[in-house]
């Protein structure tokens, strides 16, 4: 069976991402030009590149996302709010906030909930994605707790990973997160990030979403794939056969 239908479905769900430690303005320009040409959902960049990205993508329909409290997931809510406000001032459409996952692992629920709630308030109408770092939380009960906490505190979407840890997205974690989204009413979204490189990887996660949430649920508003390395594979699958 051809990969083309999956690729056609997945490409508009992609968040093209450059969160490399050596990112440059030239690399961001190339990323944004690729995003415009491909019709992806968004780019995700460091806060210092938000203003540049916003200018390059004006009128394209491609959204600009950035990260706060990233990647360590610290406990400083005031700093996370400041980062959020600065990014929104520069034109960001979406904020990807790292949950204070160590606090949750230590049984300190309130600091984690408070940070999400405070950043939610700072976001206004901007989309808030909360990164759970499921590869560190590891245990199904903790992943489920983090999912419920983030949704209850105001997340529009929950996201698996920063992509900076040894273990990122896994089907097991994604299934738990989808269950939480379904149980919360099904109107929130999911972003899968880290380790998704092939069309088969994308197909696996789309199939999970279809099974748990229904075949029409996964749209750019509710389902994102944060994986720039997947982009070339999707384009290759969409090329006409020679």
Structural domains of the chain ordered from first start:
4-238 (3.20.20.70)
- Return the pLDDT at 233: 95
DSSP 57-105: HTTS--EEEEEESTTT--S-HHHHHHHHHHHHHTT-SEEEEEP-HHHHH
Tokens linked to 47: 């806060």
Angle at which helix 140-152 crosses helix 109-123, to 10 degrees, equals 40
CA distance 96 to 92: 10
pTM recorded for the entire structure: 0.96
- The pLDDT score that the predictor gives to residue 231 is 96
Catalytic positions: 96, 159, 191
Tens-of-pLDDT digits for all 242 residues of the chain?
Answer: 479 999 999 999 999 999 999 989 999 999 999 999 999 999 999 999 999 999 999 999 999 999 999 999 999 999 999 999 999 999 999 999 999 999 999 999 999 999 999 999 999 999 999 999 999 999 999 999 999 999 999 999 999 999 999 999 999 999 999 999 999 999 999 999 999 999 999 999 999 999 999 999 999 999 999 988 899 999 999 987 54
Give residue 242's pLDDT. Answer: 42
pLDDT of residue 240: 76
């Amino acid at each position: 069976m051809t990969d083309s239908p999956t690729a056609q479905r997945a490409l508009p769900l992609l968040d093209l991402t450059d969160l490399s430690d050596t990112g440059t303005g030239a690399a961001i320009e190339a990323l944004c030009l690729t995003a415009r040409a491909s019709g992806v959902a968004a780019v995700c960049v460091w806060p210092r590149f938000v203003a540049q990205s916003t200018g390059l993508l004006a009128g394209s329909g491609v959204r600009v996302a950035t990260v706060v409290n990233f990647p360590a997931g610290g406990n400083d809510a005031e700093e996370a709010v400041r980062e959020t406000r600065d990014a929104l001032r520069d034109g960001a459409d979406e904020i990807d906030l790292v949950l204070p996952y160590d606090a949750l692992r230590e049984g300190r629920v309130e600091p984690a909930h408070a940070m999400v709630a405070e950043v939610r308030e700072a976001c206004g109408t901007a989309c808030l994605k909360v990164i759970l770092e499921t590869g560190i939380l590891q245990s199904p009960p903790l992943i489920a707790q983090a999912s419920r906490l983030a949704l209850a505190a105001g997340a529009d979407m929950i996201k698996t990973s920063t992509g900076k840890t040894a273990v990122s997205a896994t089907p097991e974690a994604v299934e738990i997160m989808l269950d939480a989204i379904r149980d919360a009413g099904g109107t929130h979204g999911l972003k899968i990030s880290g380790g998704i490189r092939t069309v088969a990887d994308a197909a696996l996660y789309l199939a999970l979403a279809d099974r748990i949430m229904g075949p029409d649920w996964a749209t750019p508003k509710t389902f994102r794939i944060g994986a720039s390395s997947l982009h070339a594979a999707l384009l290759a699958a969409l090329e006409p056969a020679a």
